[in-house]
Amino acid sequence: MDQLTLAQARSWIDATASVIAENAPHLSELDQAIGDGDHGANMTRGFTAVVKKLTDGAKTDDLGGLFKLVGMTLLSSVGGASGPLYGGFFLDLGKQCAGKQTLDAQALTAVLESGLNDIKRRGKAEIGDKTMVDALTPAIEAMKAASHDVTSATRAAAETARDAATKTAPLLARKGRASYLGERSIGHEDPGANSMALLLGALAGVCHE
């Protein structure tokens, strides 16, 4: 597959909503260990609101419009830190994709990398801080190294992110509420890295079909 189309991007958002809802108890359980236990519920509320807007017929003529709608909706419905981080991420994707109907693998990688930089700027997080950055950063590197078709690039991103999310367990949290626990944050996977891995998994899923 050479291009991610608008229809597929729309499917990606639907698939993300489903997989987030399915995994909400797991995400909340991870968050309960080192945070306040609401990550699953908050993300589910956000993506449910997004899907409702799309189903109700919100007009999205291009990828830019779609991602902007996702971003604005997450911003006003998720709350916590994940709202601004995921909301800002999709708003940035929206800006990068203004007027675009499709993205090839290289363009998709560049767009996701720009979104990553938005998350890092807003959350003041770097790799190794035990956040969603730890899943997205290596995933983007894997996309760059993968062959230039969307199917294999997104599959590489999904597999790498999945693996990277589990590898956040031994890290000492330096951002967000988990950082208040100090050494006690060690031994638990980061919930944000896990939800990011789900998002990329859903992307690989729709690009494989």
Partner 1 sequence: MKKLINSPEDVVREELEGIQLAHGDRLRVSFDPFYIVRKDAPVKGKVGLLSGGGSGHEPMHGGFVGAGMLDAACPGHVFTSPTPDQMFEAGKAINGGAGVLQIVKNYTGDVMNFDLAAEMLHEEGIDVATVLTDDDVAVKDSLYTAGRRGVGLTVLMEKLLGAAAQKGMPLSEMKALGDQIRASGRSMGMALTPCTVPHLGKPSFELGENEMEVGIGIHGEPGRHRVPVASADEITEMLMEPILSDLPFHRGEQIILFVNGMGGTPLIELYIVYRKAAQIAEKHGLKISRNLIGSYITSLEMAGASITALRADDALLALWDAPVNTPALRWGV
What distance in Å separates the CA atoms of residue 144 and residue 76, rounded to the nearest whole number? 33
| Residues 103-132: x where in contact with partner 1 by CB under 8 A, - otherwise, as a string | -------------------xx---------
Q: What is the rounded CA–CA span in Å between residue 58 and residue 56?
A: 6
Residue among 76 and 117 whose Cβ is closer to partner 1: 76
Q: How far is the CB of 89 from partner 1 (least distance, A)?
A: 12
Cα–Cα nearest to 5, from 150, 128, 117, 147: 150
Query: Least distance in Å: CB of 130 to partner 1?
Result: 11
DSSP, collapsed to helix, strand or coil, labels residue 56 as coil
- Cβ atoms < 10 Å from Cβ of 121: 11
Closest CB to partner 1 among residues 18, 37? 37
Residues numbered 67-86 forming contacts with partner 1, rule: CB under 8 A: 75-85
HSE-up of 22 (CA within 13 Å, CB side)? 9
Min. distance of Cβ 192 from partner 1 in angstroms?
11
With beta carbons less than 8 A apart as the criterion, state whether 17 and 48 touch. Answer: yes
41 touches partner 1 by CB under 8 A = yes
Tokens of 175: 């951002």
CB of 183 to partner 1, least distance (A): 9
Q: Residue numbers of the site for partner 1 (CB under 8 A)?
A: 28, 32, 35-38, 41-42, 45, 75-85, 122-123, 172, 174-177, 179-182, 184
